[in-house]
Structure 1
Amino acid sequence: MKIGDIIQRARARYSTQKPSLRDAILSHTDLMGSVSTPFAPLVNAATSLKPVRQLLDATLKIDHHRSLPKYSHGTFRRWYKSVAADQARYADQVAFFHGCYVNYNHPQLGKDLLKVLNAMGTGVQLLNKEKCCGVPLIANGFTDKARKQARSNVSSLHEAIVDKGIPVLATSSTCTFTLRDEYPHLLDVDNTGLREHIELATRFLWRKLDSGQTLPLKNLPLKVVYHTPCHMEKMGWALYTLELLRLIPGLELDGAGFALLRHCGDVRL
């Protein structure tokens, strides 16, 4: 029984409260990212100011104690155009569902993934058209808009997986879980023939290494605690990331912190 799906379906069907302006702003990540990234230095500086945070709290009910995510000055997709031709030279290819966070907030994560995959002889393509996976829209009551975006994404996934014959990787466990499981179960968007070809980048990398491929890894003398994302745990794929981390020379995983970690906050689990 998928309790999270039942809760969301009940909310969508029986809620009498319309989404607020706050909900619209926080859930339309592509719109906000597209507007904010060209002016990222100004946006980041403004949202760091205490008076601005207090104003957002008073008008939109965004708690002033909350540190808002920083935007990148330029998107990942824009940067990718400069390396697209080089990526096409690799015989082995994958498609990358970068998600909103990589595209608007932390492009370096996507750049690092390309570097690792290239070192293993794999080139990276982007989906022809990619929209937010839909989780913010679902969580804030915009189910119809989420369904529309899901259908658009399924079309792009079909082009990569079926037409081109390449798998689709993601760095976000929430995006991965949504594309694979939430689309058919919660949004009634059919992804038959696509689901099994969508996976986390860490799982893909581990399988490559387990099959005999090598990756030159430098010594990294660090002691870290790893917080397994909830959706990664739900898919049963946490082991792949942990095993990858254990392959890094010098890196020590501290298991003492695992018992202290709490739920990430997404009530739809």
Structure 2
Amino acid sequence: MAKHRINPDDCIACTTCVAHCPVTAATRKFRGPKMLGPALERFRISEEDYEPSLEYCSNCKNCDLSCPSGVPVSTLNMLAKAAYYKKNPQSMRDHMLSHGENMAKMVNAIPFGAALANVGMHNPVSRAAMKQIGISDKAPMPTYAATSFVSWFKSQKQTPSEEKVVFFPGCFINYNQPQVGKDLVAVLQHNGIEVIVPEEFVCCGSPLVTGGYLDEAESNARKNAAEIAKWAAKGYKILTACTSCGLMLNQEYQELFPAIEGLAQNALSLYDAFEFLAERAAEGKLKTDFAPVQEHFMYHVPCHLRVQGIGLPALTLLRQIPGLSIEEADAGCCGISGNYGFRDEKYEISMAVGAELFQRIKDSGVKTVVCDCGTCRLQIGHGSGAATAHPVSILRKAYQL
């Protein structure tokens, strides 16, 4: 397949994307998705051009979601950023935030590395030092788990089954919140499904793309695409439990890397974990031996789930649990957008973007907010003070596993 450019002339200049952009609403430093995406792309086709305010695009995808012409505006922004950084060096801060998988591997290679890193990241002295390189001293930094999900998984003995699925854990679940992966394995095993976690998978590349490291992201995409194709050819479905990973593997690879063969075919075998579970439920294949869960939750829909157009499968399934009450927040973006809110100059913007959601949670009085995205959960806990959980953890609780 030959490389091609997304056609900016598909944009009809209606400004719907501007009206739905949470960053445009939060700061005048960003000139808006229409101007920086399709409008400037018309000039970039013929000559190099870079608009500094492009740095304020969070890649939240609300512009893509709202565009009536289907223009992937955010992808145009990310491609423009990548073109700029091919000739201009990134900062140490951006290198660190874009290479989370490498950082986590280094932590795991050191005895007691996770504990040492967590202490190092969460004390006033180190936070002050991090601020000096551009990482906010107020942002909610994730902690590392003592044992990665993949390491835990290799030690597990599952009940064998003819029905199998492949799980792509992603960096956040693997290194920061492996309990989410453990809960998913437990739920799938309870439903008679064996789980395969190939060690060949690497970071989906989402943080690399937002940091401008497009060539590295493409290298990761080629590795993951080859592994996905291998399992898809055997008839296996490939699941994700992080909405940003799912979006990257399923949709963004096709937009960013059209030269990679087979991406559209791969997408037919890629499923969000709850999309897969909801499909089984619709077919009468999902166990419903739920114990009552007498709790009230709020559910936040990640932007990267909404743009996939698969509905709200987690919310639909959780509402089938007896005793459980759950309401949709319906209060916009949380503001974190991966590691956008970790950047010192973006922190206040990210908090302004998420302000409506934080207030909605506080006004509701709920103690726990359910969300499919790991960094959204970090931001929600930070901004609202509520506890957070992945929906698969609530499902496992209902199964009493």
TM bin (shorter chain): over 0.9
| Cα drift, residue 206 of structure 1 | 0.8
Q: What's the CA shift for 1:220?
A: 1.1
Question: What are the equivalent positions in structure 2 for 1:1-150 lying under 5 Å apart?
Answer: 1-15=71-85, 17-37=88-108, 38=110, 39-58=113-132, 60-83=133-156, 85-86=157-158, 89-150=160-221
> Which residue of 255, 273, 288 maps to 1:201?
273
Q: TM-score, normalised by structure 2?
A: 0.63
Q: Hey, what does 1:225 align to over in structure 2?
A: 298
Q: Which amino acid aligns with 1:226?
A: Y
Q: Give how far 1:46 is off.
A: 1.8
The 2-side partners of 1:224 and 1:125 are apart by 31
Q: Is this contact kept in 2: 1:96–1:126, CA < 8 A? A: yes
Q: C-alpha distance in 2, partners of 1:90/1:17?
A: 52
TM-score normalised to the size of structure 1?
0.92
> In the superposition, relative to structure 1, how do residues 265 and 187 fare at CA in structure 2: closer, same or farther (>3 Å)?
farther
* Structure 1 counterpart of 2:185, one-letter code: L
Matched residue, 1:167:
237
Structure 1 residue 17: deviation in Å? 3.4
Which of 299, 320, 330 is 1:247 aligned to? 320
Q: Which amino acid aligns with 1:176?
A: G
List 4+ stretches of structure 1 deviating above 4 A. Answer: none
Percent identity of the aligned residues?
29
How many pairs does the alignment contain?
A: 262
Question: Deviation digits for residues 199-245 of structure 1, max 9, x if unmatched?
Answer: 10001001111111223212111111111011110112232111011
Q: Specify the alignment match of 2:4 in structure 1.
A: none
Q: Any gaps of 5 or more consecutive residues in structure 2? A: 1-70, 341-401
- CA RMSD between the two structures: 1.7
The amino acid that maps onto 1:248 is I
Q: Which residue of 1 aligns with 2:11?
A: none
Instruction: Confirm whether residue 177 of structure 1 aligns to residue 244 of structure 2.
Output: no
State the Cα distance separating 1:10 from its structure 2 match: 1.6
Residue by residue over 1:127-154, the C-alpha shift from the partner in whole angstroms, topping out at 9 and shown as x without a partner, is 2401000010000011000000100111
One-letter amino acid of the structure 2 residue matched with residue 53 of structure 1? R
Single out whichever of 188-197 and 121-130 deviates more from structure 2: 188-197
Who wins on radius of gyration, i.e. which is larger? 2
Deviation for aligned residue 1:75:
0.9
Question: Is the contact between residue 143 and residue 187 of structure 1 (CA under 8 Å) also seen in structure 2?
Answer: no
Question: Separation in 2 of the partners of 1:265 and 1:68?
Answer: 11
The 3-state SS of whatever aligns with 1:193 is: helix
Any conservation in 2 of the 1:230–1:264 contact (CA below 8 Å)? no
- Structure 2 partner of 1:187: 257
* Residues 228 and 238, structure 1, Cα contact 8 Å, conserved in 2: no
